[in-house]
Amino acid sequence: MILVTGGAGFIGSNLINELLNKNLPTVLCDFKNKINKKYFENVQGILHFVEPVNLEEFIYKNNIKVIFHLGAISSTTFQDANKLWYNNIFTSKKIWELCYKKKIRLIYASSAATYGNGDKGFIDTQDRTYLHSLNPLNIYAWTKNEVDKRNIFYKNFLNLHPPQWVSLKFFNVYGPNENHKENMMSIVLKTFQQIKKNETTTLFKSYNSKFKDGEQKRDFVYVKDCIKVLMWFLQKKEISGIFNVGTGIARTFNDLVINVYKNMNKNINLQYIDMPKEIKNQYQYTTKADMKNLLKCGYKDTFYTLEEGIKDYVDNYLIKKNYEIS
pLDDT digits (tens, 9 = 90+) for 9-24: 999 999 999 999 999 9
pLDDT at 326: 46
Residues 303 and 173: their CA atoms lie apart, in Å, by 12
Helix/strand/coil for 58:
helix
Q: Which of 39, 100, 108, 140 is catalytic?
A: 140
The question of whether 140 is a catalytic residue gets the answer yes
Which residue stretches of the chain have pLDDT < 70?
Answer: 321-326
What residues form DSSP beta bridges with 3?
27, 67
Q: Name the residue type at position 109.
A: A
β-strand pairing of 270-273 with 48-50: unpaired
β-strand pairing of 172-174 with 165-170: unpaired
Q: For residue 250, which phi and psi values (nearest 5 degrees)?
A: -95, 130
List, for residues 144-170, the tens digit of each pLDDT value.
Answer: 999 999 999 999 999 999 999 999 999
Please return the burial class of 265, using the count of CB atoms within 10 Å of its CB with bins 0-12, 13-18 and 19+. exposed
Nearest by Cα to 177 from 24, 25, 30, 3: 30
pLDDT at 79: 74
Residues 202 and 228: their CA atoms lie apart, in Å, by 32
The question of whether 181 is a catalytic residue gets the answer yes
Residues 62 and 310: their CA atoms lie apart, in Å, by 40
Helix/strand/coil for 140:
helix
CB 55 within 8 A of CB 5: yes
Ramachandran region, residue 249 (left: φ > 0; alpha: ψ -120 to 50; beta: rest):
beta
DSSP state of 50: E
With a CB cutoff of 8 Å and minimum separation 6, the contacts of 32 are 49, 51
DSSP state of 214: T
Residues 213 and 201: their CA atoms lie apart, in Å, by 13
Enter the pTM of the model: 0.94
N- to C-terminal Cα separation, the chain = 36
Q: Which of 102, 181, 196, 311 is catalytic?
A: 181
Residues 272 and 214: their CA atoms lie apart, in Å, by 7
What residues form DSSP beta bridges with 165?
106
What residues form DSSP beta bridges with 166?
107, 241
3: number of Cβ within 10 Å: 25
